[in-house]
Amino acid sequence: MILRTHYSGDIHPELDGQEVTLAGWAHEIRDLGGICFLVLRDREGLAQVTMVAKRTEKPLLESVRQLSRESVIRVVGSVKAEPKAPRGYEIIPISLEVLGRADSPLPLDPTGKVDAELDTRLDSRFMDIRRPGSLAVFRIESAVLQSLRQTFYDHGFLEVITPKIVATATEGGTALFPISYFEREAFLNQSPQLYKQMLMSAGMDRVFEIGPIFRAEEHDTRRHLNEAISVDMEMSFADHNDVMDVLERAMVEAYRFVQENCKRDLDVLHLDLVVPKTPFRKVTYSEALDLAKEAGKPTMEWGDDIDTETERALGSIIGEHYFLTDWPSSIKPYYSQPYEDRPDVSKAFDLMHPSMELASGAQRVHDPEQLVSRIKDQGLDPDGFEFYLKAFRYGMPPHAGWGLGLGRVVTTMLGLENIRDAVIFPRDRRRLVP
Ligand code: AMO
């Protein structure tokens, strides 16, 4: 049996006189002697429960007076239109039941009135998410996921789930988490890269996956975590430009969806969301180096990976979402396809927000011999990739794809300081609980 008839947000003054049952947390108790206010909070907001001492049964009034803040309660009462109350109504209680008592003192102030350090908030994340500002972020994240999935379905993609316990690395240069897998060595996957490509050989044509990726990097930055959620896609009979189009569409649709469906959450965050302008500018790697030089950041040479400082300089020059294209083949993974007439440049791209990278992608090498030689060129052993290479030898279509970091999308969309604010239970070098 569902223990409520309404969320606080479903009630309005026109329900005057109707009996309702609310369930939630005792957000605030204000006892003024002659009158006592209990504010009940649920996911959809706050409801004021009003008790005039003279007109309220003693045991009911006593149970409210003894209630500890943040206890879980269920209130049966009647709606009374009251222009002075928040949302224009109050609840005159008939009965109150305590379903879960809260200890005091609380580890954190859930009203959001008292600021707390990020670490303190993360230590008691369950309590932190009771704060409207934190909840709003995760409601918006849910909307972003809903919108991304819808964009994929609208473009004929199938949702897939691939293994997270794997035998090999996929991305050069990023460290792996080893795990003990019976008598063998295994790892947590860095990316669904090899699997989504194999599904192109399987004829699934267009697939997407939203799931965790694990990177054993020791950096402690505002945009890296050791476990991140990657939104991955792979598309057959398509090139890098086609998948950039899907990425641009997915991003813009996500902004629009949040703008239309998360008004209350955006208000809580005092945000006026602006949908990025399209088409996103395409800046080649070489142009980016020139722009950086003009901006007084001449430290990079062609073939170097773009460092954080240059990335920031580019972000402030360009000032909006952009694609960084045509990367040197030597610094993009072996699976990225070099241009036929310029093998030192690859059909790889990143999607950039002015403050950080959001996604990487490429047209892929689909010729097995070329793939083996690219794997060797990058100092890797093709034997370790046999299960993957096999899928290329029996009819692999041309294909392209990308991976987009969900935490970074939400962080940049909402202007958050730290990716940890956009991840419910973040994992970093220091944090393994909660
Ligand atoms: P890449 O390694 O660039 O590409 O990862 C894709 C996107 O995932 C996000 N991301 C992270 N977010 C937070 N913390 C991290 N440690 C972290 N690492 C990655 C970023 C990044 O842009 N296989 C390719 C994708 C492809 O080509 O399809 C890949 O994994 O937003």
CA distance 118 to 312: 24
Q: Write down the architecture of domain 128-280+320-422 according to CATH.
A: 2-Layer Sandwich (3.30)
Mean pLDDT calculated for residue range 65-87: 96
Query: Which two three-digit tokens encode residue 228?
Result: 């991140």
> Residue of the nearest CA to atom 21 in ligand 1?
359
Mention every residue, 6+ apart, whose C-beta is less than 8 A from residue 235: 157, 205, 206, 242, 243, 246, 399, 400, 401
- Pocket residues: Cβ below 6 A from ligand 1: 171, 191, 193, 215, 217, 224-225, 228, 230, 232, 357-362, 401-403, 405, 407-408
Distance from the alpha carbon of residue 178 to the mean position of ligand 1, in angstroms: 19
Integer angstrom CA distances of residue 129 from 112, 338, 422: 10, 46, 11
Mention every residue, 6+ apart, whose C-beta is less than 8 A from residue 263: none
Mention every residue, 6+ apart, whose C-beta is less than 8 A from residue 203: none
Fold of 8-100: OB fold (Dihydrolipoamide Acetyltransferase, E2P) (2.40.50)
CA distance 182 to 180: 6
Query: Which two three-digit tokens encode residue 284?
Result: 């080649």
> Residue of the nearest CA to atom 27 in ligand 1?
361
Q: Which atom of ligand 1 is found nearest the CA of 359? A: 22
Q: What's the pLDDT band for 114 if we cut at 50, 70, 90?
A: confident
Pairing verdict, β 356-363 and 206-214:
unpaired
Q: What is the pLDDT of residues 206-235, one digit of tens each?
A: 999 999 999 999 888 999 999 999 999 999
Give yes or no for residue 72 having a pLDDT over 70: yes
- SS3 of residue 2 by DSSP: coil
> Residue of the nearest CA to atom 3 in ligand 1?
360
CA distance 214 to 394: 30
Q: What is the pLDDT of residues 21-52, one digit of tens each?
A: 999 999 999 999 999 999 999 999 999 999 99
Ranges of each domain in the chain:
8-100, 128-280+320-422
Distance from the alpha carbon of residue 405 to the mean position of ligand 1, in angstroms: 6
> Residue of the nearest CA to atom 23 in ligand 1?
193
Which of these, 121, 151, 152, 113, lies nearest to 138 by C-alpha position?
Answer: 121
Distance from the alpha carbon of residue 109 to the mean position of ligand 1, in angstroms: 35
Asked if 43 and 87 count as a contact pair (C-beta separation under 8 A), the reply is no
Which of these, 193, 202, 206, lies nearest to 348 by C-alpha position?
Answer: 193
Asked if 294 and 314 count as a contact pair (C-beta separation under 8 A), the reply is no
Prior bond to 434 cis, omega within 30?
yes
CA distance 197 to 193: 6
CA distance 137 to 150: 20
Residue with the larger pLDDT of the pair 339 and 309: 339
State whether the Cα torsion 59-61-62-67 is positive or negative: positive
